[in-house]
Every structure is written in C-alpha cells, then in structure tokens.
Amino acid sequence: MKNTFFALMFALSSTAVAAQTPVTLKAPDGLTLKATYYSPGKPGPGLVLLHQCNQDRGAWAGFASKAAARGYHVIAMDFRGFGESEGPRFSSAPEQQSVVAGKWPSDVDAAFTWLTGQPGVDKNKIGAAGASCGVNQAVLLSSRHPEVKSLALLSGPVTPPGRAHLQKSPTLPLLAAASLDDGDAVNTMRWILGWSRDPRNTFLEFKAAGHGTDMFAVEKGLEPELLDWFEVTLVHAQTAETAPMEPGKPTPIEEFWTALAKPGGASKARGIYDANRKRDTGRLVLFPEAELNAYGYQMMQEGRGKEAIIAFQMNVDEFPQSANVHDSLSDAYLADGNKVEALRHAERALALLANDTRIPDQMKALVRESAQKKVEQLKKQ
C-alpha cells in the first residue's frame, strides 16, 4: 500500500509539472500572437520551439510536455499567419517571404522575452529548436540573443546571415536531423553543420521519417535524443566562461563558397569541389542542390554568365539524375549563346523528369514547361 501511494503521488506530481498555459503575445506592430507555455513548476533552463510552415505550435506539443517534465520552461509559438496567431494567410511564397524576413524575427523575440521574464527561468541557459522554416528563425534568434546556448534543427535551410552567425560562433553546438526521403534535406542539414566549428555538433540521419517534427511519429527515439541533447548542452554545460577560440583554418565549405562569391573565383571553387570528390572517405557536402542552383542564377544576374555555367555544371556532376539542375544549366548555356549545349541539357531534363522522385509534382510541371519551351525554340532555329 505504501509503495502504491508514493507511486500515485509521483504520477500526480509528474502530471502537474507539465502544466500548459495559453499565452497571448503582442508583436511590435501590435499584431496578436498565440503561444503555449509549459511550466516545470520549478527553476530550470528554457526552450523556444518554432514550428514548420505546414504545421502550427501543436506540432511541438508532445515534445514540449516531455521537456517540461524534465525541468524545462518551454514556449511554443504560432508564427503570424499560422495557427491561432493573427496575420494574413499567404498563397504565394514571395509574399510570405517578405513577412518571414521582415516580421518573424521580432515576433520570435516577443516569445523569447516573455519566456525569459517568467519566474524560475535560468536566463543564461536557453535553447531553441526549429523545424523546416523554423530552423532559420532558431539560428537567427541565437544571433540576436547570446543567452541561447544550444540549437536543435530539423529539416530546414539557413539563410546567409544565419550561416554567417554559425561561422563565427564556435561555441554554439548544433544538433541537426533529417530524413533521406525528404528531398535534399539530408545534404542541406549536413551542409549547415559544415558552417559551424563546434566539435559537439551532432547529425542524425533517418531513412524514411518524413519532414521536420513529422519525424517524431516515425522515429520514436528522436524526441529522447533531443531531450538528451539539451540536457548535455544546457543543463550540464560548463558554467565557466569559455575562452575565446583562436581563428582556425577555414573549412573546405567556407573556402568553396568564399571562392565562388568572388568574381572570377568559380574555377577555384571547381578545383575545391574536384579535390573533395576524389576523397574515398569523409567526403563533405560542399553544397545542397537548391543552394547552388539559386546561387548560379544570382551569378547570371550579376553578369557572371560563364561562371554560372561552372556552378551549374558542378550541380549536374553532383546530382546527375536531377532534371532541375540540367534545366538550369541549359538556361545558362542559352544565355551564353551556346545553343547546342542548351538543347542537350534541356532534352536531358525532360528525359529525367519521369523518374525524378526528389521534387514534387508542381515543381516537375515547372521544369517540364521550362525545358520543353527551350527544346521547341532551339529546334526551330
């Protein structure tokens, strides 16, 4: 009876620990944001959880409850335009991106400020986790608030300002996770880790777990992995000030992108890529497909057309079964006046489309339209 009584009291105590409280936040422009606060009922570190763009804060609910039961003060917010938060629901990506870049950072700061203002929150031990479009917001949050000492990133990209922050933050540990069935997410997350020099960085790769927080339902060990990660990097992290690290030798990823960014540097970047390809083991992800593809078009806009051809060719060499990268290389050749190569790669893009499972149907339709238009135009000439 005595053991049963104490077991019951412990169960009731554990339930009480994970109390959930609805929170209303005000963005700097007056817009109302909604969040949920999970209290452990005792002093402890804090976590800010940021959802992916096909979900809302509820996607983090299970993890947040478990984190609170472990002693974390947790806030999960709805981005403006999602869930219960106010804000327009956009139908086009360009419209949404202007809000993401211009408004979301201050919205996330509102959640951070609210959380760190709660009694018992250790303001010097804050972690952040983001899924998909929440990944970049988690990284940028840490760039604005040095109190954020650890990050967990699931299946999402990081913008150049975020990568620059990781590059100059050698004592900010990252846990990144992605699944092989999620487009180019694995390469993207490995690449993001390559911008950071913290030796504690950890990567978790899954075979068929889906995207972002959807992975929790498939990989039952992922939530415990994240909790253990924050336990090590927040709760049991060294409390003494870490001595500034001496600037180290740039990583191959840094060397590659530094070279590519300089006018006339594409050939040097190609040399770095070729040297990396010759490695038998330990080969680095110098670029995800989408990142280099976007940068190639940027080079074309800057008048670096021949260098764009080099960049797109590297993408073709790395991802030879991608219809999109062949179509992009075709665009670059066409702009440079090389109609023979433009036609060859446009036809190759069309031939690959049927078996290209890495892109959604909507993207396939766009690639098909682009490549077919070039083929018809070039065969008439």
Q: How many other C-beta atoms can be found within 10 angstroms of the C-beta atom of residue 26?
A: 12
Is pLDDT above 90 for 244? no
The second-level CATH assignment, the architecture, of 252-380 is Alpha Horseshoe (1.25)
Per-residue pLDDT band for 280 (boundaries 50, 70, 90) equals low
Per-residue pLDDT at 107 exceeds 70: yes
Q: In whole angstroms, what is the distance from residue 189 CA to residue 117 CA?
A: 32
From the list 153, 142, 173, the residue with the least C-alpha distance to 213 is 153
pLDDT at 4: 39
pLDDT over 70 at 257, yes or no = yes
Q: Looking at residues 322-343, what average pLDDT do you find?
A: 97
The helix (H) or strand (E) run that includes residue 111 is helix 104-116
Give domain 13-235's CATH architecture: 3-Layer(aba) Sandwich (3.40)
Per-residue confidence (pLDDT) for residue 33, from 0 to 100: 98
**Exposed, middle or buried: residue 356 (CB in 10 Å: 0-12, 13-18, 19+)?**
middle
276: pLDDT strictly greater than 60: yes
Quick one: average pLDDT of 292-313?
A: 97
Tell me the pLDDT of the chain averaged across its residues.
91
H helices, E strands: number in the chain: 16, 8
- Give the pLDDT score at 243: 43
- Phi and psi at residue 145, in whole multiples of 5°? -135, 100
Reference 73, options 115, 129, 35; nearest CA is 115
pLDDT in the model for residue 134: 97
Residue ranges covered by each domain of the chain: 13-235, 252-380
pLDDT at 18: 62
pLDDT at 140: 98
